[in-house]
Amino acid sequence: MSNTNSLLTIKDLHASVEEKQIIKGLDLDIKPGEVHAIMGPNGAGKSTLGYVLSGRDGYSVESGSVTLGGEDLLEMETEDRARAGLFLAFQYPVEIPGVSNLEFLKASVDAQREARGEDAITSADFLKEAKAACKQVNLPVAFLKRGVNEGFSGGEKKRNELMQMLLLKPKLCILDETDSGLDIDALQVVAEGVNSQRSADRSFIVVTHYQRLLDYIKPDFVHVLSDGKIVKSGDASLALELEAQGYAWLQKEPTEDELEG
């Protein structure tokens, strides 16, 4: 199964939070440029996957392996994972009063450029880039001066996440329930932003409960996550099937063979 072309390879991952096992043998292989949607009922472990991959404190991996671009992701500190090209767009972005959005963005970009051995970007050049990114995600430029996510509406926070993605140019973006709390207009803005970033060397994991987001961000693959494992995989049509059926059929606990058979 190991593929040298893969960007992300997860093998038999078991992970827990506060002693409770949430991920129970998850396998996933993502090649550059692919968009994978992960769907599933509440409590299936969708958000946990993003936290485990980004290395959040309190989320411990018991067994299995994860490689990003061939490197062992699980051995890295959270910031090194980001520098290696991993980006997690949060379902609930954190408010940080007292740290301006611009300072935060510049520190992030500086850290990643430094890690790649690139020269630091001047403040003036960065401001130009940041303003352009603001425009692209439809946020007023004044938001650069405000505290990180401080007092932003749900939609503004999601657009701020998207702006970070535009500036950081990651290899793998995990969008954690990016559609939650967004009205249809905000959803379109975010989806357009994501689509503009799709390219042959950038991959996405789109974590969502609803099919709605996938109308705008067309996935190459759809996986159903239930009780910590991927129980079914397919193409975009699987999302439509799920939309029609709901997740109730998962409660019957069918075996993987039955599902894939």
Partner 1 sequence: MSEWLESAITRAQGIHDWLAPKRAHALDLLAKTKWPTRKTEAWRYTPLRPVERTPAKMISDKVDLSPVAIADLSAIELVFVNGQFDPAQLANTLPEGLSIALGGDLESAQQADALNTFSTIKPERHIFGLVNDALAQDVVVVSVAEGVEIIQPIRISSLLSPGAESHTRVQVSLAAGSRLTVIEDVQAQGDSFNTAFVEYNVGTNARLEHYRFALQTGSNVAIGGSHFNLHDHAKMNSTIVGFGSELSRLDTDIIHAGEFADAKLNAMYLLDGKELFDLHATVEHAMPNGKTEENVRCIVADRSRAVFNGRIHIHRDAQKTLAELNNRNLLLSDKAEINTKPELEIYADDVKCAHGATVAQIDKQALYYLQTRGVSRSKAQVMLNFGFINELIDLMPNAALAEWIRPIIRERFAQMEVK
- Among positions 116-155, residues that touch partner 1 (CB under 8 A) are 147-148
- d(C-alpha 112, C-alpha 87), whole Å: 12
Which of 13, 90, 175, 226 forms a contact with partner 1 (CB under 8 A)? Answer: 90
Whole-angstrom Cα distance, residue 149 to residue 252? 41
Among 21, 108, 180, 233, binds partner 1 (CB under 8 A): 108
93 binds partner 1 (CB under 8 A): yes
Which is nearer to partner 1, 139 or 231 (by Cβ)?
139
Query: Closest distance between partner 1 and the C-beta of residue 225, in Å?
Result: 21
d(C-alpha 89, C-alpha 205), whole Å: 10
Question: Which range binds partner 1 by CB under 8 A, 3-11, 36-44, 54-62, 182-190?
Answer: 54-62
24, 31, 56, 169: residue in contact with partner 1 (rule CB under 8 A): 56
For residue 88, state whether it binds partner 1 (rule: CB under 8 A): yes
Three-state DSSP class for residue 63: strand
* CA–CA separation, 246 and 240 (whole Å): 10
Of 168, 206, 213, 224, the residue at the interface with partner 1 (CB under 8 A) is: 168
Q: In the 8-state DSSP scheme, what is residue 199?
A: B
Stretch that binds partner 1, among 21-29, 40-48, 105-113, 183-191 (CB under 8 A): 105-113
Q: Of 27, 104, 197, 227, which lies in the binding site for partner 1, with binding defined by CB under 8 A?
A: 104
